[in-house]
Structure 1
């Protein structure tokens, strides 16, 4: 406490200046932004960033402004966000900056709300996001090596960053906008140490028009490998003021300013593991300490939101395990998945308030948004998945998702073999979850998480149809295995040690242009099903679909993919934003893989994110 008192007194005069300017709405005229040996400087005055990480694709576009208003109510003055390459270039040379991908509109909304922006457009983002943000098709470029000077990678990376620069360079603070700084690469020191590669990053950013203050970010132990001389190094994951300052000075010519680029108030979840939470009081006191010391931070995450569709990533630090992340990105963050203040929000707000100049106060905290319970939804006409298969692609050996030019979703692999025997079915390098059927009857499940790749099966006499429905559960987003991210049956299928050949592949990406739900026939027993229903609402509000009685699959509401559900937990509900519901008729579609007999869908007015069911498949 003696140490804290001294530091607080020493910084009291500076803190008043640091916290005053950012709460004001930025003028339309140009601002100057830079730094001296200790502080960031906005228009020549000391400026302390209290930044909130919010990811635009994890929030409905219609809700961006509400989340930003909540940030301001907690005392936030800056928004941090990644830019996601695989969203903006889902197929090679086909760019998309529309709708929820309109990153320029996100930045502009922040400016309208009086918030500055820290931009993180690295080609690699990690972020518990599919392939760490890389588009799947990079793996089809023979010899391409991500995060390196390899020419093909640099060529594709440059096209991407030039497209991003075209969208966002007009919003740099030097051009009258609100983007203060831009981060190159992302925690590169945890992956490599090639300074020439980092220098290529810097040059491409400048060429793309992102020619403002650039910085690097790395965990404390990796700063030496990940910083680029001449740029400001920032540190992730620590908040001891003296340690932060010592580390930054070591690699920045003995100078500041001091920036914790990722300050973690909690953590994320993956399937089959307990929901992660941290004590709010402990972290509020740490926030108080770091702010009192004049250090700028970016809170990762202030608001996580939801990883929609199939865009979750996976942990896999070595080849020994695989842990796909859940769809909820609640993160135990100060702002919950629906955008409401939590007790952690209020404690953090108090910590920020304590560091404001005398007489200055924060906006009132908006009331929680109303939540509703939907009427029970009944499904009456399930569609068997095998009745709506597209035209297959034939091959001798199984084809990967990448070879099929399919990014996400499912592939049904079908082969016909001579029966009348029993033995072990083995799939070499199954990626990631497979359901095995013999003549249309489910006989078992294989799960990469559990290192299950083999199944004892009985083939009846005659010509037998074997189907293996494979789900891409999310590509690895961190670590040394980014280049080992192909999906599907990535090697071969063996029966009694002999390879099965002669395959048909049915692509089932289940994107917004591929959702067949027309009933063609009643499903067979244990056949995965698609079910559609219409329900009516007199009033709308946030709600949470209760999936505890279901097995495994996905849900769409009015065409919006809500994410995955899986009874193993810890996530047992799917958040439905009020922005995606409407008065009158609404449509829901469920893809259920394991419990096709389920016919009722209920909802709750609060989420269930901490319920494990280890006996489930």
Structure 2
């Protein structure tokens, strides 16, 4: 009896272990109608939340609000240059803890979509590629079959996949990740590659074969890749994807990027996409047999530090998303879409299994289109009106008046349960509440670097007998690079009569400051970069130093061969006298120093440097540091810095770089018109733009996790590049208010 009992117990334990092992594995497959989870067709409504654009402390709340908003999946890119800033030195700590982010999604009971890339675009600096990758070889070419590129891409991608496998985060191991992505929007550039005479197909084939060989146990997708090799699933990105059909008709319709708004650029008006139009796009997608959609973005967040790309992408990456930059619901967008999600998911069975029959009315094509979906005796109808006026559909003796540019969803094709243009959620605006009086400031000047003796080989200075491209020197470790040279003028020399000269310098960067003998003689910036700075100065007998501080505002993230874009002082660099004397400086010996001393030497936190901070801070002074302290605001409302009054620079709170600031660059005074939701929305249109004449960005997010809870005192440090007035800076909290 004892032996039998023990055998029975052992058998039971083994049986339960076997059952558990089965339950831990989720099988992901698909057919032409839907993604299938354990054999069952599912509608997936996902939203993009990029883990580095928020903080680990914010992730649970963001994901919870996404779930409450009707999502059942979260999507993210993986940001190579954030995780491997230096070759073979990896960082997955803190707010870069990708595993923790995926597990937070899993804990919320949601699926995950992992877009590894490793090219991501995403308005992220250099499209997510590390600059050291570009500098590995003079023949480097990103997103081609270049041997070194492919090797490095495969090493990083394999590392990410292995991390997910180790933590059992792929669905095949019981985790939440149901799809993975290789490459990103490559198809959008195939015409341009072809125009350059480049055969791009071997690269697409190679990365697809590589991804498939990683054996993740889940499907791989390629977005905007019209001839994605099998078994890659081709997916759509855009404002509207209802007309999209994958080339391989055995695959479902997947929309990887439904753009909920658009990103902001320094100096441009704020873009807004009406929620009525977003809802219209969603409903049209499901009316035409769509299966999985992902909102890009659902929460945009913040480009902390130097992460924004473009160039000239703002620090805010709010994106007019359903959850705003601070993680608060953007009403009515969040609430209206929540209602739509509930309706769509309630009809999951009929949408994924039913028979679709579509016809147009009055020969208007897609502008007046009705779709009847039937399954096992049930019916569902979509009535789509793409006109600018209300249109009444007549169907089986019933009348369905449908608002302009909207879709009505009717249960049993008889009762309207939702209309995408009928918004019953109250609009809210953000109120910015000032927390305390004027801050008390101290200041110190940034050091102007110069060369007095070019034979002195400083450890931190690189020398070359030519002008070097900026990112090849900095490896993108800083926005700033000093170009330094000197020349000796004989007291009796007539080469440059009277000493009055014009310095003329060409730069491919966005900002350039010029100094002659440590005196600033010129500053210029130009949107998009690429300009000639001309500045007048006066030479003196003896050694004269010329120092140029070149600054970038994010590296490009999109386009064919964007990695080969040049930055910094290139081409022309001359001194010319009034009498016509001319010196070509381009071939002189130049010294290069990366960064600025206050950042690189951490002088704003060094105890021994405290004596160098002074009271009575100046205003409108270039290249100056400001420091103050402020109390942690009580409560849990999001915290921002109001930096209006400053010029351009960067800000740190308790050593955390909250990003670049540039409130002195303002939006145009014209172009803000009443927003009409009707008609197609295009990110390049002037439609629905706001905040004319205002600073490009006034408020800068300070996550609560950056603030001190115990001492309540927080250090605020500003590097002011253009000159401003710190007395106007204040701390505010953000609360929603009914409009």
TM-score past 0.5 threshold: yes
Q: 1:92 touches 1:137 (CA, 8 Å); kept in 2?
A: yes
Matches within 5 A, 1:291-330: 291-292=286-287, 293-314=289-310, 323-330=311-318
Query: In the alignment, is residue 586 of structure 1 matched against residue 714 of structure 2?
Result: yes
C-alpha distance in structure 2 between counterparts of 1:75 and 1:422, whole Å: 68
C-alpha distance in structure 2 between counterparts of 1:300 and 1:100, whole Å: 20
- Secondary structure of 1:155's match? helix
Q: 2:172 touches 2:216 (CA, 8 Å); kept in 1?
A: no
Quick one: which of 285, 291, 294 aligns to 1:290?
285
TM-score (norm 1): 0.84
Deviations 1:440-492 (A, max 9, x none): 33322222426432213122433433222211211110012413234332455
Partner of 1:56: 51
Quick one: which of 518, 534, 541 aligns to 1:440?
518
Partner of 1:191: 189
Quick one: which of 352, 357, 378 aligns to 2:341?
352
C-alpha distance in structure 1 between counterparts of 2:238 and 2:343, whole Å: 23
Q: 1:285 touches 1:351 (CA, 8 Å); kept in 2?
A: no
C-alpha distance in structure 2 between counterparts of 1:230 and 1:131, whole Å: 29
Query: In the alignment, is residue 560 of structure 1 matched against residue 656 of structure 2?
Result: yes
Q: Taking structure 1 as reference, are residues 71 and 28 closer, same or farther at Cα in structure 2, changes over 3 Å only?
A: farther
C-alpha distance in structure 1 between counterparts of 2:597 and 2:43, whole Å: 45
Larger Rg: 2
C-alpha distance in structure 2 between counterparts of 1:373 and 1:560, whole Å: 22
How many angstroms does 1:238 deviate by?
Answer: 5.0
C-alpha distance in structure 2 between counterparts of 1:229 and 1:207, whole Å: 12
Quick one: which of 163, 169, 181 aligns to 1:167?
163
Matches within 5 A, 1:386-535: 386=447, 391-399=460-468, 400-417=470-487, 418=489, 420-449=498-527, 451-462=530-541, 463-491=543-571, 493-496=573-576, 498-500=583-585, 501-508=588-595, 514-517=601-604, 518=609, 520=612, 526-535=621-630
C-alpha distance in structure 2 between counterparts of 1:238 and 1:432, whole Å: 30
C-alpha distance in structure 2 between counterparts of 1:28 and 1:81, whole Å: 26
Matches within 5 A, 1:208-223: 208-218=214-224, 223=225
Partner of 1:576: 702
Partner of 2:128: 133
C-alpha distance in structure 2 between counterparts of 1:195 and 1:484, whole Å: 21
Query: In the alignment, is residue 375 of structure 1 matched against residue 405 of structure 2?
Result: no
Partner of 1:81: 76
Between 557-566 and 427-436, report the one with greater CA deviation: 427-436
Partner of 1:146: 142
Q: 2:521 touches 2:535 (CA, 8 Å); kept in 1?
A: no
Q: 2:298 touches 2:322 (CA, 8 Å); kept in 1?
A: yes
C-alpha distance in structure 1 between counterparts of 2:65 and 2:512, whole Å: 42
Quick one: which of 22, 39, 44 aligns to 1:44?
39
C-alpha distance in structure 1 between counterparts of 2:215 and 2:296, whole Å: 27
Q: Taking structure 1 as reference, are residues 286 and 93 closer, same or farther at Cα in structure 2, changes over 3 Å only?
A: same
How many angstroms does 1:28 deviate by?
Answer: 6.6
Q: Taking structure 1 as reference, are residues 448 and 499 closer, same or farther at Cα in structure 2, changes over 3 Å only?
A: farther
Deviations 1:82-129 (A, max 9, x none): 101101110112121121111111111100001111111012100001
Q: Taking structure 1 as reference, are residues 456 and 511 closer, same or farther at Cα in structure 2, changes over 3 Å only?
A: closer
C-alpha distance in structure 1 between counterparts of 2:499 and 2:270, whole Å: 44
C-alpha distance in structure 2 between counterparts of 1:28 and 1:350, whole Å: 32
Query: In the alignment, is residue 203 of structure 1 matched against residue 209 of structure 2?
Result: yes
How many angstroms does 1:132 deviate by?
Answer: 0.5
C-alpha distance in structure 2 between counterparts of 1:119 and 1:212, whole Å: 11
Q: RMSD of aligned C-alpha atoms?
A: 3.1
How many angstroms does 1:573 deviate by?
Answer: 1.6
Q: Taking structure 1 as reference, are residues 121 and 601 closer, same or farther at Cα in structure 2, changes over 3 Å only?
A: same
Q: 1:442 touches 1:526 (CA, 8 Å); kept in 2?
A: no
Q: Taking structure 1 as reference, are residues 284 and 376 closer, same or farther at Cα in structure 2, changes over 3 Å only?
A: same
Matches within 5 A, 1:230-245: 230-237=231-238, 239=240, 241=242, 243-244=243-244
Q: Taking structure 1 as reference, are residues 155 and 130 closer, same or farther at Cα in structure 2, changes over 3 Å only?
A: same
Q: 1:431 touches 1:470 (CA, 8 Å); kept in 2?
A: yes
Partner of 1:5: none
How many angstroms does 1:257 deviate by?
Answer: 0.9
Partner of 2:413: none
Q: Taking structure 1 as reference, are residues 295 and 403 closer, same or farther at Cα in structure 2, changes over 3 Å only?
A: same
- Secondary structure of 2:118's match? coil
Q: Taking structure 1 as reference, are residues 469 and 422 closer, same or farther at Cα in structure 2, changes over 3 Å only?
A: same
C-alpha distance in structure 2 between counterparts of 1:359 and 1:149, whole Å: 42
How many angstroms does 1:410 deviate by?
Answer: 1.1
C-alpha distance in structure 1 between counterparts of 2:250 and 2:98, whole Å: 33
- Secondary structure of 1:282's match? helix
Partner of 2:175: 177
How many angstroms does 1:398 deviate by?
Answer: 3.7
Q: 2:183 touches 2:222 (CA, 8 Å); kept in 1?
A: yes
Q: 1:270 touches 1:325 (CA, 8 Å); kept in 2?
A: yes
How many angstroms does 1:325 deviate by?
Answer: 0.7
C-alpha distance in structure 2 between counterparts of 1:414 and 1:388, whole Å: 7
Deviations 1:552-604 (A, max 9, x none): 00111111111111121421221111222223221111100121663452133
C-alpha distance in structure 2 between counterparts of 1:308 and 1:595, whole Å: 22
C-alpha distance in structure 2 between counterparts of 1:406 and 1:511, whole Å: 17
Ranges in structure 2 where 5+ consecutive residues have no aligned partner: 1-21, 191-198, 350-424, 451-458, 490-495, 577-581, 666-694
Ranges in structure 1 where 5+ consecutive residues have no aligned partner: 1-26, 315-322, 608-617
Q: 1:406 touches 1:507 (CA, 8 Å); kept in 2?
A: no
Q: Taking structure 1 as reference, are residues 531 and 238 closer, same or farther at Cα in structure 2, changes over 3 Å only?
A: closer
Deviations 1:27-72 (A, max 9, x none): 9722111112211111111111101011010011111111100100
Partner of 2:369: none
C-alpha distance in structure 2 between counterparts of 1:512 and 1:180, whole Å: 42
Partner of 2:320: 332
Q: 1:340 touches 1:368 (CA, 8 Å); kept in 2?
A: no
